[in-house]
Amino acid sequence: MARLLSVFGSSLICLSLPALVWAQAPTEPTQDCGLEPPGAVYVPLPEPRPSETAVWSDAEPPPVRQEIRDGTRSAASGLPQTRMRTGALSGKTVYLSPGHGFYRDSRLGRWATQRGNTNDVVEDLISAETLDQYLLPMLMSAGARVVPLREPDLNGRMVIVNNGDADYSETGPEGLFSSAKVPGWGPPPSPMPNNVLPFNLGGSRLMTAAPSATASASWVPRIPADGNYYVYVSHAADAARVPDAHFVVKHAGGESHFRVDQRRHGGTWLMLGRFYFKAGQSAEKGAVVALNDSTATGTVSLDAVRIGGGTGFIGDATMGPLGLPRYLECARYHMQFNGAPASVFAPSGTNGLGNERNDDVTGRARFATWDHEAGEDAVYVSWHTNAGTSGTVVGTETYVYGPNPVDGSLNFTGVPGSDVLATLLRAELDRDFKTAVDANWTTRRLRSAYFGELNPTHNPETPSVLLEIAYHDSVLDSARLKEPEFRRIAARAIMQGLIKYFAAKDGKPVSLPPEPPTVVAAVNVAGGVEVRWAPPATDSNDLGGHGATAYRVYQSEDGLAWDEGTETAGTTLTVNLAAGTTRYFRVAALNAGGESFPSDTVGARVGTTPPVLIVNAFDRLDATMDRPEDLSRFSLGSPLRVLLETMNDGSSVRRHGAAVARHEVAFDSATNEAFAASLVSLSGYQLVDWFTGRGGPGGAAPTRAEQDALRAFVTGGGHLLFSGSQAASRLATGDMADQAFLADILRAAVASGSSSLLVEGQPGEWLASVAGMELDDGTRGGLATGIPDVLTPAGGAAVLRFNGTELSAGISSAPGGQVLFLSVPLEGIVSPLRREYVLGTFLARTGLLATAPPAPGDDPSPPDPGPANQWSAATGKDPRPPDPPPPQPIPPYVLDLLPQFYEEGDTGCGCGAGTGVAAVPWLLLLVIGQLRRRGRKTPYSER
């Protein structure tokens, strides 16, 4: 790490310090792209952390790795908790920078994004959505340690439990615990001002290690609401800490074990994984526990545990907090929250809020330098979308650092290896886009520019690349950026390019993780359930990865909280289960490159003769499903958001399965691809629940083979529940076979009129008792329903209608067996009670239930989730004996003043117009030197 004040031939943007520093006139027009023109002196980088006194070799374990409980230890972190194996990127670190984000604009007097709404997309949102939902988990599933430079958790709730809080406890001999002499995380004020360093606000504890567990510490968060949460831990690093501190995450799906090297990466949040927690669960299903078993002699640092991403809370009297999930904030606030010193997150000072936009750019590279430790094999990758001047430019650009502006030239002067990395990433993106998106995709040659994120003055330690994936101001490219599949292809190409870069660097063969299985089924067999699947497809040019060599089957009782999985080399797995047990499954493919995303969820309820087959034919995931969000208070209008858990996350079977199981009826389930592959057939079932979800014009109608099978099934006396929000209109606009299936089997036609998201029973019909059925719009904890079709009977009878109208939403008929056709997705009904009532009443009508269920009452009120951000207060009596006073007082942790050595004016997203600085006076150096020294200890001060 560079430690001295130096001239590097480029300048931090907007450099000016009145009365102290003089600046030359701008030499070129301002550009809104993070530029740092050459010619200035820089503020020193932060001093190395104590752990940087050692050089880490490839023989050292990764800082965080998941432990498989058969005694072996994996080199991969867990994201979600199911990613366990090593992969092609094991032992590698990727600093992942999603472009831009909300920042405080003092001139506007409010929070703002660094890019505006263009063609209904905002770059600041696109980058976070893509990296958090696609690229980050892909990289971690390939074994990488990923350091995100913005909060990656989309969950806007957060709980932090600190050592010493009422929700923290210690178990074991008192002599094994002591207080450390260095600071740790402490609860900051809320809102948190700019001059607060949260990892210097509190203390930390120590627990002496032993060969086997003889003591433990527990953090039991009060989970505010059911959901998936990232779990983070913090520690005070020291050479006396153990390299394998044992942490156990107890979540709704079971336990996940991790080993953390506490000699490194202290004073920040370390991600363990993503887990499902339920509000009000016991400590056995909602806690983090540190055990003192270790292979080494030393101590375990006990500091704080964080659950969830939370909502932005940095603010002051001038401007309050953002009030949106923290993943939408720019990196500047994330760096402060994650323990970086002010010389990283606020190099332009904090008295003038206008410069926080500049800090966001420069601080990202500086954070990588602060976090990176000598010997770690790391790269820095920044994702952006571009904008031109005419709105007609399209395509991809790849940049490395050079002393030139954005002029199309290449004059590489960055960290060695950056150009090699950029060349491989560029080639992978070019090939994949031309193969899967557009054969004429434009990929420009490698370029250089003086971007702040790539500047080796800020980050001299890791090869760095900036990617401009597409142009959001182009109508053509913005349409692509709205597509989830385009984002997935781009993310996968970056992952594969990184794998090829490290393989070439290390002289190893290229191993690409496989694609997820799509052909999956769960069927009753004697003594339990057999999970069946087919190998995922491969291709000849590595577009989708290499073939699977093994699989991991995950189980869940509710389809939400998953276990650690069972590995197998085959394509079936039989799970012994008692009669009446409901279990859900998903399958991930494995090879030497890593682990795929999991398959869609399937499930089964064990019974002697399963009468129900649930078929998931909801394959649609496209831009027409994007959901607008009203951000007009930020002058953004209503940009489109791509949030998979509100679109199609592959989990809909669990809602159908729960509705069947509620009536103690057995079921099997499968994807419609599994039906096409003959892993299941309709024979032997009395009722088929076939759903297309939010089908519509962008979705596929049932294939001819599927229609023929369903037709034969119904005319042979089988019962069919067929649902989908635009299934009727899709069939009505199809070929003659589609139209005949709609008329002959579903006995319905599309009618004119406007549907709504409120449905009730048709008076006088067999669903008349159900009322007030709300459909999810993507904000009620499920998938967005879209715009349902309005139906009219074509031989059947209307049994559901849109509230207060005569417009039908459900048709009942009996062309052979009983048929119920819903133009609203069953899984889109918000109330589980009403969902269960509709399905149970149909089961009774078909004779599968002896009596129909009673009409549903009101759903129970959900628990009050409390504030978006929670950190425990030390209430009640502390179970520990009083701590002895430290031998010396801990110095102040809140800085009175941060250096304000740049002007408040901001000329772009961390860019300036060619300003330069001739000198930095002694007073500035004195301020910085004092800032660097306050609160520092020697590496061995905790012993």
Instruction: Quote the CA–CA distance of 620 and 520 in Å, as a whole number.
Output: 17
Sheet order of strands, 158-162 included: 270-277, 227-233, 304-307, 158-162, 869-871
Comparing 83-87, 89-93, 425-429, 726-730, the range with the smallest average pLDDT is 83-87
Q: What per-residue confidence (pLDDT) applies to 13? A: 27
| Choice between 610 and 516, residue whose per-residue pLDDT is larger | 516
Let me know the angle formed at the C-alpha of 716 by 713 and 722, rounded to the nearest 5 degrees: 40
Comparing 72-86, 231-245, 457-471, 533-547, the range with the smallest average pLDDT is 72-86
pLDDT score of 252 more than 60: yes
Q: At what angle do helices 484-506 and 123-130 cross, to 10 degrees?
A: 60
Q: What per-residue confidence (pLDDT) applies to 751? A: 96
SS3 490: helix
Which residues neighbour 184 within 8 Å (Cβ) at sequence distance 6 or greater? 162, 163, 199, 202, 203, 204, 234, 236, 267, 301, 303, 304
Q: Which of 758, 812, 750 is nearest to 785 (CA)?
A: 758
Which residues neighbour 790 within 8 Å (Cβ) at sequence distance 6 or greater? 750, 751, 752, 753, 754, 755, 802, 807, 808, 809, 823
Which residues neighbour 854 within 8 Å (Cβ) at sequence distance 6 or greater? none
pLDDT score of 595 more than 90: yes
SS3 7: strand
Query: Which whole number is the average pLDDT over 334-356?
Result: 80
Query: Which whole number is the average pLDDT over 397-416?
Result: 96
Mean pLDDT (the chain, rounded)? 86
Q: What is the pLDDT of residues 55-69, one digit of tens each?
A: 888 778 888 888 877
Q: What per-residue confidence (pLDDT) applies to 51? A: 72
Instruction: Quote the CA–CA distance of 675 and 691 in Å, as a whole number.
Output: 13
Model confidence at 701, pLDDT cuts 50, 70, 90, reads confident
Query: Which whole number is the average pLDDT over 493-503?
Result: 98
Model confidence at 46, pLDDT cuts 50, 70, 90, reads confident
Tokens 């990296």, residue located: 131
Q: What is the pLDDT of residues 619-646, one digit of tens each?
A: 999 999 999 999 999 999 999 999 999 9
Q: What per-residue confidence (pLDDT) applies to 42? A: 65
Q: What per-residue confidence (pLDDT) applies to 357? A: 86
Q: What is the pLDDT of residues 270-305, one digit of tens each?
A: 999 999 999 988 899 999 999 999 999 999 999 999
Report whether 238 contacts 266 (CB < 8 A).
yes
pLDDT score of 888 more than 80: no
SS3 755: coil
pLDDT score of 323 more than 90: yes
Identify the H or E element spanning 488.
helix 484-506
Q: What per-residue confidence (pLDDT) applies to 41? A: 57
Other Cβ atoms closer than 10 A to 814? 16
Q: What per-residue confidence (pLDDT) applies to 389? A: 80
One-character DSSP codes across 128-163: HHHIIIIIHHHHHHTT-EEEESS-------EEEEET
pLDDT score of 243 more than 80: yes
Query: Which whole number is the average pLDDT over 754-767?
Result: 96
pLDDT score of 9 more than 50: no
Q: What is the pLDDT of residues 266-279, one digit of tens each?
A: 999 999 999 999 99
